[in-house]
C-alpha cells in the first residue's frame, strides 16, 4: 500500500531520462563531430547574450543589478519547491511509532496508544513459529494520515506465495482481535539468495 502516484513517478522519471539522454547525446556528438561542437558553442554564446540583454532590459533601477527577470526566475523556483513539498506531504508521512489509538471514553482510563513495537513483536514472534518463513520484518508508516502496517517476509524456496499470504493474513486478523481494531496492512513477499541457500542447505542435510 503505497500512496505514491505511479503515473506521476513514471512521468517524472521519463522526463528526467529524456533530458539526460539529450544532454549525453549532445556531449557525445560535440566530441565526435567538430561541426556540432561549433554549433553548440554558437548556440550557448547566443543564449548567454540573450540572457544578458534581457537582464539589462528588465533592470529594476540603474543603481542596482537586480532585474525583473531574476525575480521572475526566483518566484518560479519557489513555486516549484512549494508544489514539490505539498505533493510529498500529501503522498505519505513516513515512519510512525504508533499503530493505533483508542480515544478516551467514559471512566478513568484516557486515550490508549498502541505502539509499533508491540504490534511488531507480536507479529514477528508469531511468524517465527512457521518453518516456511526464513525472515520477517514489521514496520509502521503513516499514509495519508492513517497508520499502516507493512509486513515483509522471505519464505523458503518453493513455498507457495498464497500459503505465505494466508499465514500472514491469519496472524494480522488475530492481531486485530487482540487490539480490538483492524489496522490497514500490506504484505510484501521477497525471495533472493538467502532463500536459495536455505533450500540448498536443507538438501545437503
Residues 121 and 185 in one domain: yes
Q: Specify the higher pLDDT residue, 91 or 123.
A: 123
Sign of CA dihedral 21, 7, 90, 151: negative
List the CATH number of the domain containing 138. 3.30.70.1350
Helix axes 34-57, 68-91, angle to 10 degrees: 100
Give the count of domains, the chain: 2
Q: What is the pLDDT of residue 113?
A: 64
pLDDT band at 52 (very low <50, low <70, confident <90, very high): confident
Residue 30 has pLDDT above 60, yes or no: yes
Containing domain of residue 161, as a range? 98-204
Q: Specify the higher pLDDT residue, 186 or 116.
A: 186
Sign of CA dihedral 192, 196, 202, 205: negative
Residues 41 and 137 in one domain: no
Structure confidence by residue, pLDDT tens digits, 141-155: 777 767 788 888 888
Residues 68 and 140 in one domain: no
Residues 69 and 104 in one domain: no
CB 156 within 8 A of CB 102: no
Dist CA 89 CA 1 (whole Å) = 16
Dist CA 98 CA 118 (whole Å) = 10
Q: Taking phi first (over 0 means left), then psi (-120 to 50 degrees means alpha), and beta for anything else, what does residue 100 get? A: beta
Residues 103 and 186 in one domain: yes
Residues 11 and 68 in one domain: yes
Do strands 98-102 and 112-115 pair parallel, antiparallel, or not at all (unpaired)? antiparallel
pTM of structure: 0.44
Phi, psi of 150 (to 5 degrees): -120, 115
Residues 106 and 191 in one domain: yes
Mean pLDDT of the chain: 75
Amino acid at each position: 500500500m503505497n500512496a505514491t502516484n505511479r503515473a506521476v513517478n513514471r512521468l517524472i522519471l521519463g522526463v528526467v531520462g529524456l533530458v539526460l539522454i539529450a544532454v549525453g547525446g549532445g556531449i557525445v556528438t560535440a566530441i565526435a563531430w567538430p561541426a556540432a561542437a561549433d554549433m553548440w558553442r554558437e548556440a550557448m554564446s547566443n543564449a548567454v547574450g540573450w540572457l544578458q540583454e534581457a537582464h539589462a532590459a528588465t533592470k529594476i533601477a540603474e543603481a542596482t543589478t537586480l532585474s525583473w527577470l531574476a525575480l521572475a526566475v526566483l518566484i518560479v523556483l519557489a513555486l516549484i519547491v512549494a508544489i514539490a513539498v505539498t505533493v510529498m506531504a500529501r503522498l505519505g508521512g513516513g515512519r510512525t511509532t504508533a499503530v493505533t489509538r483508542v480515544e478516551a471514553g467514559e471512566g478513568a482510563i484516557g486515550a490508549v496508544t498502541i505502539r509499533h513495537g508491540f504490534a511488531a513483536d507480536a507479529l514477528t514472534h508469531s511468524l517465527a513459529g512457521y518453518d516456511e518463513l526464513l525472515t520477517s520484518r514489521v514496520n509502521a508508516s503513516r499514509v495519508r494520515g492513517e497508520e499502516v502496517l507493512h509486513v515483509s517476509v522471505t519464505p523458503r524456496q518453493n513455498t507457495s506465495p498464497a500459503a505465505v499470504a494466508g499465514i500472514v493474513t491469519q496472524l494480522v486478523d488475530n492481531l486485530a482481535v487482540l487490539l480490538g481494531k483492524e489496522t490497514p496492512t500490506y504484505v510484501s513477499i521477497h525471495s533472493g539468495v538467502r532463500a536459495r541457500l536455505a533450500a540448498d542447505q536443507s538438501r545437503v542435510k
